[in-house]
Amino acid sequence: RKEVEQDPGPFNVPEGATVAFNCTYSNSASQSFFWYRQDCRKEPKLLMSVYSSGNEDGRFTAQLNRASQYISLLIRDSKLSDSATYLCVVNRGGSYIPTFGRGTSLIVHP
């Protein structure tokens, strides 16, 4: 099993839709979790950290399920500008070395 797995997509959704991505991780000792956004030919940018209790930032909600070892990202009211690749990041349990998933591609169309 890969350390961090994501469905590569693409997820093709209309504007205004709600879309959710999951990311599974294999190391139960992992302690920190993040979602990044990467636009084509650009660097990854931090979208949000993921906290145990779940957290929300505007239209974006992140959740952590430690029992099933996955994190999720929910995007409500999708905008054209949300089109990007979404990377989940999990630190290697007990260390500060992050492991990146390969990303999920989102395409929002008019």
Partner 1 sequence: DVKVTQSSRYLVKRTGEKVFLECVQDMDHENMFWYRQDPGLGLRLIYFSYDVKMKEKGDIPEGYSVSREKKERFSLILESASTNQTSMYLCASSFGGNQPQHFGDGTRLSIL
Residues in contact with partner 1 by CB under 8 A are 31-32, 34, 41-46, 49, 87, 89, 91, 96-98, 100-103
Give least dist CB 79 to partner 1, A. 23
User: With respect to partner 1, which residue has the nearer C-beta, 4 or 108?
Assistant: 4
Say how far apart CA 36 and CA 47 lie, in whole Å.
5
Instruction: Return left, alpha or beta for 81; rule: phi > 0 is left, psi -120 to 50 is alpha, else beta.
Output: alpha
Phi, psi of 64 (to 5 degrees): -125, 130
User: With respect to partner 1, which residue has the nearer C-beta, 43 or 81?
Assistant: 43
Tell how strand 104-109 and strand 11-14 pair up. parallel
Give least dist CB 46 to partner 1, A. 5
User: With respect to partner 1, which residue has the nearer C-beta, 18 or 45?
Assistant: 45
Give least dist CB 108 to partner 1, A. 22
Q: Are 2 and 100 within 8 A, CB to CB? A: no
